[in-house]
Amino acid sequence: MKEGERLNLTDGRGNLFLSEISEAHKKKCSVQIVEHTKKLSPAKKVCIAVSPVKNTGRFEWFLEKATEMGVSEIVPLLCHRTEKQHFRHDRMKGILVSAMLQSQQVWLPVLHEGIKFEKYIEYIKSGSSQKFIAHCDEQNKTSLRGWLNRSTHQLINSSTILIGPEGDFTKEEIALALENDFIPVALGDTRLRTETAAMVAAAMFCIS
């Protein structure tokens, strides 16, 4: 781009700046702000707390697509069966920024540091979010799609869902979530990979 051309800039916190390039250089660029618009944060808050998977590329794919769909928060959930306990937060955040810009949004999802399952349950205990856990254990579960189709869902503007690791949550983790008012849900009739399950849940919440 050259001097005089215009582009949109954002800080990822709702601010959109229509700007004009005043200096174009290989190593730096200066712009003049022509117009500033503040966009309200999305009314619907969706948090996906998902276990990182061993294949980093698959987890990065989820981060990209979840951002494009408008997920508000992503929590790397470190469970008993999580194989990959560490990840590069700076690289993952860069993927979110790229996906936000590509999809022309001005709100960047909050990417938390990895947190142990038990600590996260304690952390979210006092929140106002409607809480769900998707697991593979054979017990009574509500269809997430069916629950979201109910009229009562329209009154809830904040939702959190837990997605387990390859191998699923342990029985103890499931029991702890249920003790803390998480609703057990099924995402469909087939068993999904971790990142696929997280993507299906994100789509159900963001598009419903």
Each residue of 186-199: pLDDT tens digit?
998 888 999 999 99
Give the pLDDT band of residue 42 (cuts 50, 70, 90): confident
Does domain 45-207 bear CATH number 1.10.3720.10? no
Give the pLDDT band of residue 92 (cuts 50, 70, 90): very high
Work out the burial of residue 68: count CB atoms within 10 Å of its CB; fewer than 13 is exposed, 13-18 middle, 19 or more buried. Answer: middle
**Average confidence (pLDDT) over 95-110:** 96
Reported as a single tens digit per residue, the pLDDT across 147-195 is 888 755 555 688 999 999 999 999 999 999 999 999 999 998 888 999 9
- Structural domain spans, the chain: 6-38, 45-207
Among 49, 45, 27, residue whose Cα is nearest residue 169: 49
C-alpha 141/C-alpha 203 separation (Å) is 19
